[in-house]
Every structure is written in C-alpha cells, then in structure tokens.
Structure 1
Amino acid sequence: MKIKYYFVAYFICIFLILLFVAFISVSKNQNGIFHFAAINELTESDLISESFVLMMGSEVPQLRDNLNENDIKPPDFSSLMFAFTSGITPKNFTSLIELELPGMKSFFNGVHLQGEEFDLTAMPVESPPPDFEKLLKEDSSGNQPEKEDGTGQETSDAEVFIYHSHAWEAFLPLLDDKEKKPSEASSTNSKQNIVLAGSMLADQLEKRGVSTLHDKTNVTASLNEKGWGPGDSYKFSRQSVKEVMASNDNVNYIIDIHRDALRKDQTTVTIDGKSYAKLFFIVGVGHEDYEKNFQFAKELHNLIEQKYPGLSKGIYEKSKSDGNGIYNQDISGRSLLIEFGGIDNNREELRNTAEAMAEVLSEHQKDAVKVNSAN
C-alpha cells in the first residue's frame, strides 16, 4: 500500500514541476493574467538571466564557449541574491531610480523612438476621471453649440476614422471658466474639448483629398444612457469602431485622439517660428498582434521627425498593468491612440499640429496606395 502512495506522490510532484515550468515559460502577453513582480524579475533581470544561462553552459560545451567569447563571468552569490530580493542590480544606478520613482520602470521599458527634444519627465499622464454629474449638468445648461452626437458626416467610403474614447478631455485656454484647475479640464462642449482637435485633423485631411469620418459623439451622455461610467469608455468606443469597420471596407486608419494631462512646457514645441502641440503615439501591447500597430506608429513617427523634428515625443507601449492595454488596436493593424497636446495648448497650436499630422497621414496613405497598386 505504501508503494502505491509513493507512486501517487511521485506523479503529483512531476505534474507540479511541469506546471511551474510551463508557467514561467509563458510569454509576457500570455502571462498578463498572472502578473507577478517576482516572475517579472526572473524574466527581465540581466543578472538573473545570465546566471541561468551560465548554469546551462555547465552542461552544454558550445554554450559555455559562447559565454567565454562574450566575457560573461559567473556573478558572485551575494550579488545574485541582492538583485533577486531587492530588484536592484549592483553597479546599475538606473535600476535604483526605477525602483524609487513610481512608474519609472514601466516608463523605461515602454518608451521607444524618442523625438529630438524628448525629456524623461515627459511620460504621458492621464487626467483623473471627470465629474460626470457636472458634465451632464453642462449638457442641460443650454450653452452647448449645435448638437454633435454621432459621426460628423455619412461617408461610406472614408479611409480614415477619427474618434475619441475620452471625448470630455478639454483644454484650459478654451474653457469659459478660466479659474478651473488642471484636474477639472473637462467639458462636453466640442469647441472646447479634444473633439475640436479631431475636427481640425478631419478638415485638414479632407482638404488633402483623404476621405475622413469623424465621430463627434458626446461620450459622457452616451455612457450615462447605458448606465456606464468613465471606466467603460473603451468598451463604448469599441462598439463604434466595430460598427464602422463592419459598414465600411475602405477604412485603413483608425485613430483615437486624446490629450495629455501634462503642462505646456512638456506638450509644446516651436518649429520654424510656429508653436505646435506635441504628439505622443500610444501602442497597447495587451494583444498578440500589437507589433503591427507599433510598426504603423513607427512609420508615422519617422515621417514626422523628417518634416517636423521634435513634434513627436515618440512611441509609448502600455500593457494591461498600466492602462487598458489594448485600446481597440486589436481590431486593425493601423489603429493608434494619439496624445494630441496637453491641457494648456491653445487653438492655434492644435491647428498647426492638425495640419502637420494631416500632411504626414495623407503622405503615408498615398504611399500605401502606391504599394498596394504595385502588388
């Protein structure tokens, strides 16, 4: 009978070991459900990774020779344990900064292709959720411009679709109440919030012959009608994107325009004497095909750098651990979230950036058409 129990215990141990190996072998994206800092340290630390490789090299002569050629030496035990338990790599000051400054580690890991004037303090900052009750009262005050629910125009052959998951994000210089604090920069007025930037970009694209569909939906009112809150904004906008994609086979570009919560010195740049609201491309890495979106962002960033150096702050990757992580970008490889300036940017700066962005997008679209026709 004891032998039988030994066999059962043996198989259970083998199963648990295999389960553990499978768990730590899963890629970052698949492992998003089981997000543990300890696992991240195991997979991301160069010191710990090299230690594992050195252990393997003791059994594989070819691997050992390669390690010797690259001058990789075994770390001492104390350094290894210190890095594993504290998250700080000896002789690497950056690891200490990443540990002490909130959000800095994800920032270092997420920023790519920085613009010429990029600053480490210029990472994107999202505004706090708005006071929906105040925004709904604003809707009923009668001071709104013409009603702009739904898409800007009925265009079945549009090539670009512009929408706003956080349509309430407003700009302080455009608000009627000049005493509002930065945290209160919200409005349902499409002449004061991020919808204005979307309208400017849509108009500029149309002038360049690019058919554009702009969704000017009052997201605040629409969420309220469904009994949803700010946290459901991407679920709501996802419905809009899917509806457009289902009814329009020509849409190649899907752009969710937001504005940053940073102040003017971090969101504004002067190029050839003109003031622009800076751009920041956000790529969600919470889905398996995010590389397509990253490539799209990279192409746009590079074009902007050629024509308007410093206008693009770069590309920022966001996972589910520091945001939505998908941002509807799994629907199309040419889908992006773009931070369009910040809370202090004015109408002129937004217009200048809209013109520059339209120029780059239309050029990219024409190049894509040439490539497709050649194939």
Structure 2
Amino acid sequence: MKNKYTKDNNPNLFIITIGLVIVLFTTSLIISIPSVQIKILQSKGLEQLVNSEPFTNTFLFLLGEEIPQFKTFLGDEIKTPSLSKLALEAVTGIKTDNITTLMMQEIPGFNIANTEIYIAGEGSNYSNLPHESPPPDFDKLLKGHQPTEEKEPTSHDSNDTDKIKDPSVYIYHSHSWEGYLPLIDEDVKPSDSSSIDNSENVVLVGTMLTNKFEEYGINTVHNSSNVAKALRDRGWDYRNSYTLTHEYVETAASKNPTMDYYIDIHRDSARKESTTATINGKSYARLYFVVGKANEHYQENLSFAKEIHQKLEESYPGLSKGIYVKTKAEGNGVYNQDISSKSLLIEVGGIDNNKEELANTVGAFADVFEDIYEGVVEVNAQK
C-alpha cells in the first residue's frame, strides 16, 4: 500500500508551506518592479532554481497537497522537498549529489565543456573549444609600465561619442588588456600575454577596425579605455568587466540614437596553429563569435552573427572558427548584448598572431560588414 501524505505524518508540512508562501510572495514583489524584471527573470540563480530537482519536487508536492487525484496518480513519485537543497541550488548552482557542479563554480574554465557550438567553422569541434586566458594580476599589470602612444592613426579613436557625428558603430573592449605576444616587447610567458599598451593589445585591433570603417564612410566610436585600471579604481576585479563596459555601452546608446552596432573585441588564448589561416597566400588571424543566450536580443544577435559568418565563409573560407553560444551557466551569458539586436562579441586571433595577420583579418571583416551595412542602409532608404 502506497504511503499517503497527511498533516499527521508530515508535521513539517505547515512550516514548509509557510516558508514557500513567504518566498513566493517576496519573489512576486521583486519581479513586479519594472526596472528589475528583466534582470531578475534572466538571472543565473532563477534559471538554476526552476531547473533544479528540489524545485520540481516542491512544485509536485504542493500540487499533490491541493489536488488529491494528482497525488494518487503520481504516488511514490512525489517526494517530500528539501528546502535546504532548494536554497543551496538556487543560490550557488551546486548540487549536493553532483560534485562536478562545485568544480564548475570554483575552477575557472571548467565549465567551457557546456559551451554550445551553434556553427562550427573549419576544424572547430568540442575537443578544441576556445577559452579565455587567466585574468592578470591588475596591480602587477598596471605597475609594470605606462601605456605608450599607439603607432596606428587614431583620428577617429575616441571615448567621447560627442566628437563623432551620427555614429553608427560602437567598438569597445571588455578585456582591453588581452595582448598579442609578437607585439609585446617583453619576453613573457603565454599565460602572461597581457598588456595595457594599446599598441600591443586588442585595442589596436579596435583602432584598425575603426579606421577601416571610416574609410567606408561608417561613422564609428572606439572606446579605448584601460578597463583594468577602471576596474581597480572602483575596487572591482576581472569578474566585473562586463558590468563596467555595460555602463559604457548604455551611455553610448542613450546619447546616440543613430548608433545600432556594438562590437566587443577580444582575443583567444589558443596557440598559432589553431588561430591562423592561410587564404589565397595571405595569413590571417582567425576569428569567432560569442553570442549570449541570456538576453532578449539573443535570436536577433545570433542571426546577425550567422549572417557575417556565412559571408566570411563565402569570401574568406576558413577565416571564421564559427559561432559559440553561452548561457549564464557557461559565462556571462549576456555580454552586453541586451542593449541592441546588432551586438557582437568577436575573438580576433590568439596570443601568437602578429600585426600583419590581425590587419588582414580586420580588412576582411570590414569588407563583409560594409556589405551588410550598405544593404541595411538601402532598405531603410526605401521605407
């Protein structure tokens, strides 16, 4: 005979019910505030909560208490919920019966195995997933040397959007310190390939792309901020990078109604063989796209990245390593792509790529981007 749940054999039922009512009431109040609705609903904790086994058990348990037929139908499948497990998984994402969830939370890079390959470029598969370099020691990095003047032209390189008339594109760098070994004068280990010199890091790539866009008549703002310094000045660390640059992007978007495209340029930590392609006798730094799944513009940004990837494949086969999709469980999950439906995070090359390879890739990307941009301009003109 199957056990039945009654108030007599479940002395904690009242406490559980009251606790859940309080949690649900508090949650409903929070998510009813318009300014925080989207952030709450897209939070990692809430996603983990609704997908957890304790949450399912709690939901079934409450249904069974209110609908006797439901309890009879499921019988022993309804388990008495553990509020402690429910809270632990909701807050930390750690499951008491799965030690790998603890490792995913505590070991940097452990969760890259969960990254989804939406489109695999040439040679890309789950055995060689890209991953970020370990974050640098900001104090050491900022103390090491002062940034020097960039060797590239910087006539359109500005953090002040007011200086550019009707800009369409905003280029920035959430990890502005990511450097390229051939450009760094010092003899450093691959794991230390970071620099605040903008002629040695991804800011140089942003400057190159800004100048290319301007050649095509695409008004562009390039934020060349030293993100490492800005983070340290606020008492923040590497984990707050996207929080900081989200402020930059929001400010740029609010001041410039003509601005539609937002490009965050990074570089991969993989070595030369994986990040370099030879196309028609020229050497290129391979690139790939990262799309955040945890925001309202996910589908549009995914389609935008797909369009660029496909055009790159047509004109520069093998240049793109593909498109990778990440949720909050695998990374930031948003990557500032909640601001616009035309947001990109691009990893350009790896730690071993040189200036010529980077310039070739920038030229190829700008060529493809300009084609898409002009198409949009023509369509808008016909409306």
Task: State the TM-score, normalized to the length of structure 2.
Answer: 0.71
Which amino acid in structure 2 is aligned with residue 307 of structure 1?
S
Q: How does 1:148-297 map to 2 (within 5 A)?
A: 151=159, 154-177=163-186, 179-297=187-305
Task: List per-residue Cα deviations over 1:94-128 (Å, max 9, x = no partner).
Answer: xxxxxxx9657513xx1012223434433221011
CA contact (8 A) 1:255 1:336 kept: yes
Task: List per-residue Cα deviations over 1:12-64 (Å, max 9, x = no partner).
Answer: 79989x99xx9xxxxxx8684255599589xxxxxxxxxxxxxxxxx9xxxxx
CA contact (8 A) 1:115 1:309 kept: no
* C-alpha distance in 1 between matches for 2:181 and 2:221: 27
Are 1:355 and 2:363 an aligned pair? yes
Are 1:132 and 2:138 an aligned pair? yes
* C-alpha distance in 1 between matches for 2:149 and 2:264: 22
CA contact (8 A) 1:150 1:217 kept: no
Deviation for aligned residue 1:232? 1.3
Are 1:145 and 2:164 an aligned pair? no
* C-alpha distance in 2 between matches for 1:5 and 1:239: 52
CA contact (8 A) 2:113 2:126 kept: no
Which amino acid in structure 1 is aligned with residue 253 of structure 2?
M
Aligned CA-pair RMSD: 3.5
Are 1:325 and 2:333 an aligned pair? yes
One of 45, 50, 53 as aligned partner of 1:33: 45
Aligned to 2:349: 341
* C-alpha distance in 2 between matches for 1:131 and 1:104: 22
Task: List per-residue Cα deviations over 1:268-319 (Å, max 9, x = no partner).
Answer: 1111001111111000111233111111111111111111111111110011
Give 4+ residue runs of structure 1 displaced > 3 Å after superposition.
11-16, 29-32, 34-41, 101-105, 119-122, 146-150
Aligned to 1:111: 117
Name the CA shift for 1:119/1:231 in 2 (closer, same or farther; >3 Å): same
Secondary structure at 1:158 match in 2: coil
Query: Percent of pairs identical after alignment?
Result: 44
CA contact (8 A) 1:195 1:216 kept: yes
Name the CA shift for 1:103/1:231 in 2 (closer, same or farther; >3 Å): closer
Which amino acid in structure 2 is aligned with residue 169 of structure 1?
E
* C-alpha distance in 1 between matches for 2:48 and 2:239: 24
Count of aligned positions? 305
Which amino acid in structure 1 is aligned with residue 174 of structure 2?
S
Secondary structure at 1:128 match in 2: coil
* C-alpha distance in 1 between matches for 2:142 and 2:112: 36
Q: How does 1:88-107 map to 2 (within 5 A)?
A: 103=111, 105-107=113-115
- State which drifts further: 361-370 or 185-194: 361-370
* C-alpha distance in 2 between matches for 1:157 and 1:315: 30
* C-alpha distance in 1 between matches for 2:377 and 2:305: 18
Which amino acid in structure 1 is aligned with residue 136 of structure 2?
P
Name the CA shift for 1:265/1:40 in 2 (closer, same or farther; >3 Å): farther
* C-alpha distance in 2 between matches for 1:363 and 1:259: 24
Deviation for aligned residue 1:220? 1.6
Name the CA shift for 1:15/1:363 in 2 (closer, same or farther; >3 Å): farther
Aligned to 1:97: none
Deviation for aligned residue 1:146? 6.2
Task: List per-residue Cα deviations over 1:171-227 (Å, max 9, x = no partner).
Answer: 0011111x3111100000000000011111111111111111111111122222222
Name the CA shift for 1:40/1:355 in 2 (closer, same or farther; >3 Å): farther
Structure 2: unaligned runs, 5 residues or longer? 1-5, 25-40, 54-72, 74-96, 99-108
* C-alpha distance in 2 between matches for 1:354 and 1:183: 25
* C-alpha distance in 1 between matches for 2:358 and 2:125: 21
* C-alpha distance in 2 between matches for 1:152 and 1:209: 19
Aligned to 2:103: none
Secondary structure at 1:162 match in 2: strand
Secondary structure at 2:128 match in 1: coil
* C-alpha distance in 1 between matches for 2:126 and 2:234: 40
* C-alpha distance in 2 between matches for 1:349 and 1:265: 13
* C-alpha distance in 2 between matches for 1:306 and 1:13: 63
Secondary structure at 1:363 match in 2: helix
Task: State the TM-score, normalized to the length of structure 1.
Answer: 0.72
Deviation for aligned residue 1:139? 4.3
Name the CA shift for 1:338/1:146 in 2 (closer, same or farther; >3 Å): closer
Structure 1: unaligned runs, 5 residues or longer? 23-28, 42-58, 60-84, 87-100
